[in-house]
Structure 1
Amino acid sequence: MHRRRRTALVLTAAIAAAAPLLTACGSDAHPGAAAVVGGQRITVAQLENRVNEVRTAQRAAVKDDTQYKQAVSQTAGLTRDTLHGMVIEQVLRRAARDAGVSVTPKEVQQMRTGLEQQVGGSKALQTAWLQQYGVAPQRLDDNLRLQLEAQKLAQALGADTSKPAFWNALTKASKELHVDLNPRYGTWDVQKSSRVDAKTPWVREVTANGTQQTA
């Protein structure tokens, strides 16, 4: 499964390693929004619902309280990572559309079936994606679609997901969508198509379970 795992979250891994080039965001004009992408709001409530999906799945998968607390601590940045995923999904979809790329439900199912065969079934795949990538079981197909879109976009550009042509396409899509993050979740790096932590220690992030983290 090495190649599949390498490509599974290629966007997230590469973006996390990218050096930041910050852009301004003015989300004060969008109260209640965690982000605005292409004029469409990703509300704080929508973000919290996504985070709660992961926490609920983690709780169901780990019955021991100590192990659950460990799982939560290992995904302490889940809220920000989840928002990043929600934004990059729309950026990639725009880039794929611009390149005439689409993914069918059949292709998603074929990818899922292949992965299930490799890891030992549907439940094992859901557990692996939850533990390794923080993807809730009900979002697994959406995540696989994202990976297929990335792969097909790269192919359409005659490159792979590590090449400048691919990232230039995402940069173009980010600019077209005018991504604007609420400052509590950081800023959006247009050149890298990535969420970047804002250097404002006085801004604190309220997580879905009611605790607070430094942004």
Structure 2
Amino acid sequence: MHRRRRTALLLSAALVTAAPLLAACGNDAHPGAAAVVGDDRITVSQLENRVNEVRTAQRAATTGDAQYEQAIAKSGGLTRDTLHGMVLDRVLHQAAEDAGVSVSRKEIQEARTGLEQQAGDAKALEVAWLQQYGVAPERLDDNLRTQIEAQKLATALGTETSQPAFWKALSDASRKLGVDLNPRYGTWDVEKSSRVDTELPWVREVTAAGSRGTA
């Protein structure tokens, strides 16, 4: 993934469409888990809840089914990118902790107040963040914390969030945590600190069988 794109995914939640989730989507090592990051287990239920938060907010912010469907159409892959963000948040937090960086509640509130003034009011900011970044209103403060944490980490490292030194810190944190994704959602590239799609063998087999059957 292009470095600037990965930075954008880090500093904002990406808009994507929810892929179907099967009940038995945990892997053998971590049944029921979408990902395991260090000692932190991200369950499929938690992931689904995050996706539903965005969809519920999109429904509330749109008028009529047609507009809602347009919002969904603009957000293809929501489940996987939401998981990417949930994992990367934890990786970033580990990197920040290793560098002695922390973010206070006051810093988050000051950032939010400034953004609300720019947007017009609190509601306008929530709508803007939802439309531009796919961040549900209840996750806005978490998203701002991530952005502030990333910027402070870059400053502590004497670099910028788009530079190799910053991403090396995330890579080191990824390696330290030992990120393990459920194969349904791809794999975690430690060097790039990014989720990578994988083509599952059983998907190829089913597709091939279907093609032969319809030939």
Same fold flag (TM > 0.5):
yes
Q: Give, in whole Å, the separation in 1 of the partners of 2:71 and 2:174.
A: 32
Q: Does 1:55 align with 2:55?
A: yes
SS of 2:195 mapped into structure 1: strand
User: Normalising by structure 1, what TM-score?
Assistant: 0.82
| Larger CA Rg, structure 1 vs 2 | 2
CA gap of 1:74–1:42, structure 2 versus 1, over 3 A, is: same
Structure 1 residue 127 displacement after superposition: 0.6
List runs of 5+ in structure 2 lacking aligned partners: 13-25, 205-215
What does residue 210 of structure 1 align with? none
Count of residues in correspondence between the two structures: 187
Identity of aligned residues (%): 71
Aligned to 1:45: 45
Corresponding residue for residue 165 of structure 1: 165
**Does structure 2 retain, via aligned residues, the 8 Å contact 1:27–1:35?**
no
- Asked if 1:12 corresponds to 2:9, the answer is yes
1:191 aligned residue: 191
In the alignment, the residues of structure 2 paired with residue 149 and residue 162 of structure 1 have an alpha-carbon distance, to the nearest angstrom, of: 14
Paired residue type of 2:148: L
**Residues 116 and 122 in structure 2, CA contact (< 8 A), matched pair in contact too:** yes
Post-superposition offset of 1:182:
0.6
**AA matched with 2:105:** P
State how far apart, in whole Å, the 2-side matches of 1:140 and 1:172 are: 27
Letter in 1 for 2:141: D
CA distance in 1, matches of 2:202, 2:118: 46
1:31 corresponds to 2:28 = no
In 2, are the aligned partners of 1:99 and 1:156 still within 8 Å (CA)? yes
Q: CA RMSD in A?
A: 2.2
Alignment partner of 1:64 is 2:64: yes
Specify whether residues 51 and 201 from structure 1 end up closer, same or farther in structure 2 by C-alpha distance, changes over 3 A only.
farther
Secondary structure at the residue paired with 1:103?
A: coil
- The residue number in structure 2 matching 1:123 is 123
In structure 1, what is the Cα distance between the partners aligned to 2:124 and 2:179?
35
Q: Is 2:36–2:179's contact at 8 Å kept on the other side of the alignment?
A: yes
| Divergent runs of 4+, >6 A | none
Does the C-alpha gap of structure 1 residues 132 and 102 become closer, same or farther in structure 2, counting only changes over 3 Å?
same
Gaps of 5+ in 1: 1-6, 16-25, 205-215
TM-score relative to the length of structure 2: 0.82
**Aligned-pair distance for 1:13?**
6.5
Residue 209 of structure 1 corresponds to which residue in structure 2?
A: none
Q: 1:102 corresponds to which residue?
A: 102
Partner of residue 76, structure 1: 76
